[in-house]
Amino acid sequence: MRVLTGIQPSGQLHIGNYFGAIRPMLELQDRNEMYWFIANYHALTTVTDPERLRRQTWDVALDFLACGLDPSKTVFYRQSDVPEVQELAWLLSNVTPVGLLERCHSYKDKLAKGFAPHHGLFAYPVLMAADILMQQADVVPVGKDQKQHLEVTRDIAIKFNNLYGEVFRIPEPMIAESVAVVPGLDGQKMSKSYGNTLELFGDPKATRKRIMSIVTDSTPLEAPKNPDTCNVFALHKLFATPEQSADLAARYRAGGLGYGTAKKELAALFEEHFAPMRARREELAAHPDQVEAILQDGAARARKTARETLKAARRAVGLD
């Protein structure tokens, strides 16, 4: 089964990204044909600083490779290294109803947040459809709140196929039923917009300091505590074995355990989990030619499929 996913280079990754999206995607690469791209064309809709875009695109490549993306199992590439997607987006634009784009939540949300309306924001779903259809993906992993994005892609593909013949595979959504909910330092959902994140590859000392600042209640040290309502315990469970979680929960309920102790144990587990990845990232950063070679190889593999799809689409509309 061919699975495609993409990520915008929007800044430093945090553990909410990792447990909520990255790790589940990495688990798919052992049993599927994976295509994974860095969506830097899409980032242009909101990022206008070229140096920032270059840096964040590179950081995403380092981050995902360090986390375990295997380029021998996954076609990993920069979106901008597969220019065929832009021509395909134009072909798809000519069968995309304006009303379909006007109903997209992402466009309305951006306007509500104060973004100036422009064609890139409005036509974003068409480019996304081109990303998916170009690689003839069978499934696309999406969250329940992102299902509309794929529905737009399906609508565009069906309309094109009905008009010109069967060119595109109609992708299905892969919706994770059980996605890890990662609380931030303040108990809200972890998000860069809330400033409550723990970065994957941040400075270890700074990360430990942020862990020690996690908000807790004022239950005295000697009193029993409820692990099910504690931010520290919720984060601890993400890293711990079932036995470690059960042990900490028992100590919470028994009383005599301070939140400071639980935070120190969480910090130790965090470092144990991410230290090997951080070392791998540092090694990759020291050999940029190797990283670039991986991206170029991925682009070459992605362009092979892209050219075949574009050739069929051009022939269908009469551009051959």
**Residue range 273-296, pLDDT digits in tens:** 999 999 999 999 999 999 999 999
Provide the pLDDT for residue 12: 86
Per the CB < 8 A criterion, the answer to whether 30 and 73 are in contact is: yes
The stretch 115-130 carries a mean pLDDT of 91
Please check the confidence at residue 180 and state whether its pLDDT lies above 80: no
Please check the confidence at residue 178 and state whether its pLDDT lies above 70: no
Query: Are residues 171 and 223 located together in one domain of the fold?
Result: no
Please check the confidence at residue 177 and state whether its pLDDT lies above 70: no
Query: Are residues 205 and 141 located together in one domain of the fold?
Result: no
| Identity of the highest mean pLDDT range in 175-179, 189-193, 278-282 | 278-282
The stretch 243-254 carries a mean pLDDT of 97
**Does any domain span residue 196?**
yes
Please check the confidence at residue 229 and state whether its pLDDT lies above 90: yes
Query: Are residues 91 and 156 located together in one domain of the fold?
Result: yes
Provide the pLDDT for residue 179: 64
**Does any domain span residue 52?**
yes
Query: Are residues 76 and 217 located together in one domain of the fold?
Result: no
The stretch 154-178 carries a mean pLDDT of 92
**Number of compact structural domains in the chain:** 2
**Does any domain span residue 170?**
yes
The phi and psi torsions of 29 (rounded to 5 degrees) equal -70, -15
State the catalytic residues.
110, 189, 192
List Cβ neighbours of 107 (8 Å cut-off, separation of 6 or more): 101, 121, 122, 124, 125
State the DSSP code for 186: T
- Residue 308's pLDDT band (boundaries 50, 70, 90)? very high
* Interval 196-215: pLDDT, tens: 999 999 999 999 999 999 99
- Residue 235's pLDDT band (boundaries 50, 70, 90)? very high
What CATH number is associated with residue 109? 3.40.50.620
**Does any domain span residue 187?**
no
Query: Are residues 64 and 150 located together in one domain of the fold?
Result: yes
Interatomic CA distance for residues 70 and 156, integer angstroms: 32
* Interval 9-62: pLDDT, tens: 988 889 999 998 899 899 999 999 999 999 999 999 989 999 999 999 999 999
Distances (CA, A) of 217 to 207, 223, 231, 251: 21, 12, 10, 17
The phi and psi torsions of 137 (rounded to 5 degrees) equal -70, 140
**Does any domain span residue 139?**
yes
Query: Are residues 277 and 297 located together in one domain of the fold?
Result: no
Query: Are residues 53 and 98 located together in one domain of the fold?
Result: yes
Angle between helices 204-211 and 259-285 (to 10 degrees): 150
* 277, two tokens: 């990845």
Query: Are residues 160 and 200 located together in one domain of the fold?
Result: no
Q: Which residues pair with 139 in a beta bridge?
A: 3, 172
Query: Are residues 53 and 140 located together in one domain of the fold?
Result: yes
**Does any domain span residue 300?**
yes
Per the CB < 8 A criterion, the answer to whether 140 and 174 are in contact is: yes
Distances (CA, A) of 270 to 159, 182, 184, 254: 48, 14, 14, 25
Query: Where do runs of H (alpha helix) occur along 29-166?
Result: 40-43, 50-67, 84-93, 98-102, 105-112, 119-134, 147-164
Kind of pairing, strands 33-38 and 2-7?
parallel
Residue reference for tokens 């520290």: 232
Please check the confidence at residue 176 and state whether its pLDDT lies above 90: no
Smallest Cα–Cα separation from 278: which of 200, 209, 197?
200
What CATH number is associated with residue 203? 1.10.240.10
120: containing domain: 2-181+288-317
Quote the pTM value.
0.91
Whats the size of the chain, residue-wise? 320
Query: Are residues 97 and 6 located together in one domain of the fold?
Result: yes
b (16+ CB within 10 A) / e for 73-87: ebbbbbbbbbebbeb
* Interval 138-151: pLDDT, tens: 999 987 767 888 99
* 41, two tokens: 């064309």
**Does any domain span residue 124?**
yes
- Residue 217's pLDDT band (boundaries 50, 70, 90)? very high
Query: Are residues 268 and 147 located together in one domain of the fold?
Result: no
**Does any domain span residue 186?**
no
Q: Comparing 181 with 22, which gets the higher pLDDT?
A: 22
Query: Are residues 246 and 200 located together in one domain of the fold?
Result: yes
Provide the pLDDT for residue 43: 95
Interatomic CA distance for residues 15 and 17, integer angstroms: 5
- Residue 320's pLDDT band (boundaries 50, 70, 90)? confident
